[in-house]
Structure 1
Amino acid sequence: MTDGPSTSPDRTAAPVDRTRPRRARRRLLVGGTAVLVLAVLLPVAWVQATGHARVRGSVAEAAQTPVDAIVVLGAGLRPDGTPSTYLRRRLAAAAELYAAGAADRVVLSGDGADRADGTPYDEPGSMADWIVGLGVPGDALVLDREGFDTTATCRRAHDEYAVRTAVVVTQDYHLRRALFSCARAGLDATGVGVSATSVTPVQAAWWRVRELPASWRAAAREAW
């Protein structure tokens, strides 16, 4: 027998839980992922829900309350300079709205800047030629050649052309974001969505998917 404290190991001590750090990292990862998902989805939901409340189901419904202007967003031109299929559908709906008495002005908003190589490009001018052929008089048209995106169109309609109430015409998948942007620009706007059916379904599907990041950017622009 020896004097002094024993140097033998304490076999009653609790074993070290080596899984605890892994569980903590897993919880941190799950929590971080949830925050990231919410940070993406909540702004998109805000944009889509805000716009959805302003959607009208038909031209007849949208025309029930007269407004300052019908606003048509650009959707590109064909190589021959005429409106694209999507844009023709928008213009046809706008012509119906005008005939139904929704407004006595039609704002045609799009890209009117010539290309870098000098090629002429006048989306609103082409839109005007087309919609006149549908029975809308030229003196009812307002050509906005600086409507380079949805936000620009809405803001210029309000700031440059004194539009306070409007019916917005665009494709159905794009309509909710457009109405959100117009509302944030100060427009009391409702909207009519036209068909987005396309001969290139993959491209049409991509445009719908693209609305998610576009909606997020629209919300972020307002928040910041």
Structure 2
Amino acid sequence: MKKKQNASGKKFVGKKTGIRIVISLGCLALFIFALILIVNHYVRKAGQKYITAAESAPEADAILVLGARVYADGNVSLMLHDRLTTGYELYRMGKAGKILVSGDHARKDYDEVNAMKNVLMEKGVPPEDIFMDHAGFSTYESLYRARDIFQVKKVIVVSQEYHLMRALFIARELGLEAFGVAADKHFYPGVMLKNELREIAARNKDFLTAKIIKPLPTYLGEVIPITGDGRVTDDN
């Protein structure tokens, strides 16, 4: 009889332990989820206050247009085209005399920056006023290199608003006097929801990257002052 009681007692204790573990894991998951949302909100708010209308943007050393998808035929995506159009409009307003296009050009068969430069030249921007950062592999690296390679101190960053908030948070953490102009000229069906969800993870990652870790970018190299001739960045 005692053996049966001991066995049932052990089962009861085992069930209680299992319930406690489940509750503990649930609390931990809720804590992590809450932390993710808090960091996401913090980064959004920190960057959002530096977003301004094009007309209100201050004059700067450069207009930084952040890269996005380029198709295999060399044409830029709609989102990237809108960023370039906004950058061009700021240039025409005299907000900066130089445009820095930064994106991924790690492979010969994928080249964001030359495609971006071609669009700007078609709009009438002279090549000497367009600098290309071929190693802008992430938003963080684009801003780090704008500061350290291109010697930019005051910058107008151009991207869609969902991305711009994080970019401005990073820029300010890196000590740049940064302002942003949103390039939301269209509705981007099938893209925005996915990008918004990815951006939550990216904001949390870059909170750690820009505020705490501050790693070096993949490549640094020789200084290329933004005050010079953009053609020194040509690779064709």
Is this a same-fold pair by TM over 0.5?
yes
Relative to structure 1, the CA distance from residue 99 to residue 33 in structure 2 (aligned partners, 3 Å threshold; closer, same or farther) is same
Does 2:35 correspond to 1:39? yes
Cα pair distance change 1:192/1:25, threshold 3 Å: same
Matched to 1:122, the amino acid is D
RMSD: 2.2
Which of 96, 103, 120 aligns to 2:96? It is 103
Partner Cα distance (2:78, 2:51) in 1: 22
CA distance in 1, matches of 2:56, 2:135: 30
Q: Distance in 1 between matches of 2:155 and 2:106?
A: 25
Gaps of 5+ in 1: 1-17
Residue type at the aligned position of 1:61: S
* Amino acid of the structure 1 residue aligned with 2:179: T
Moved more, 75-84 or 158-167: 75-84
Q: Provide the rounded CA distance (Å) in 2 between the counterparts of 1:156 and 1:163.
A: 9
Q: 1:27, 1:122 → 2: CA distance?
A: 50
Deviation (angstroms), 1:29: 5.5
Structure 2 partner of 1:214: 202
In our comparison, the structure showing a higher alpha carbon Rg is 1
CA distance in structure 2 between the partners assigned to 1:197 and 1:34 by the alignment: 33
Aligned residue for 2:204, secondary structure, equals: helix
Q: Does 1:85 align with 2:90?
A: no
Q: 1:46 to 1:80 in 2, by over 3 A?
A: same
Q: 2:69, 2:20 → 1: CA distance?
A: 52
1:37 CA drift (Å) = 2.7
Decide which of 155, 172, 180 is 2:161's aligned counterpart.
172
* 1:74–1:111 Cα contact (<8 Å) kept: yes
Partner secondary structure for residue 108 of structure 1:
strand
Between the aligned residues of both structures, percent identity stands at: 31
Structure 2 match to 1:14: none
What TM-score do the two structures reach when normalised by structure 2? 0.76
SS in 2 for 1:104: coil
1:65-80 to structure 2, matched below 5 A, reads 65-80=58-73
**Partner SS state of residue 169, structure 1:** strand
Offset of 1:197 from its aligned partner?
1.7
* 1:145 Cα deviation from its structure 2 partner: 0.4
Q: CA deviation at 1:42?
A: 2.0
Q: Do the aligned partners of 1:43 and 1:220 also contact (CA within 8 Å) in 2?
A: no
Distance in 1 of aligned mates of 2:124 and 2:54: 16
The superposition leaves residues 35-66 of structure 1 with CA deviations (integer Å, 9 ceiling, x where unpaired) of 2233212221221111011111x21122xx21
SS in 2 for 1:55: coil
| Count of matched residue pairs | 198
